[in-house]
Amino acid sequence: MDLFKTLFATHVVCGGTSLITGLLLLLLPKGDNKHIWMGNIYFIAMLTASLVALPMSCLHPNFFLFIVGVFTIYLLVSGKRYLKKKKPEDVKLFDWVLTGTMFVFGILFIGFGMYNLLKGNYFGIVLLVFGSIGILSAYQDNVNFKDKSSVQNFWLTTHLQRMTGSYIASATAFLVVNNKILPGIIAWLLPTIILAPFIIKWTKERAIKKV
């Protein structure tokens, strides 16, 4: 079996595992032991699927796969690390590097998205959306890292947002690859449209405002 086939098999198995466990995490109660161990399985499976997606996108050039891989890795790793960032001194150099990397990729995605739109390719809208989310997430990190958030338990709400966002990215990849009915741009944006309201709802329910 050649390298690409090995990476592809790993991607499919881990991606499928993360889709199933991620859905269960969305449906089941949050914060109990079941959530914790299932969340760890989801994290490992999704991170592995995303990491192998990067060399896959280079061996068989696929910009779509590269975008989803980069975006998902950032959301997963930053979301996981937020559980340990309850005060400014918990923020490490790695966190700033991760945030800076996402900010740079966000600018690149937006730039490439505008270029595509000027060429009449409406895939550029997708790039603008993902790029904007990336830049806004990096800005959110900057606010949180400097302890300027209006939310006292920002570590919890941001963890929830990022991990759900990583599932949106995974579901988007699955839908786009297997879509035979929907217009391309709809397939790209549908998981975001469906799950974004839940992120807003759960954040409002759990956020504790500073007094």
64-78, pLDDT tens digit by residue?
778 888 889 999 999
Where in the chain does DSSP place strands (E)?
A: none
- pLDDT digits 0-9 by tens, 117-147: 998 888 788 789 889 989 999 999 999 999 8
CA atoms within 13 A on the CB side of 206: 17
Chain mean position to CA 115: 24
Q: What angle do CA 140, 146, 147 make, to 5 degrees?
A: 90
Q: In the beta sheet, which residues pair with residue 188?
A: none
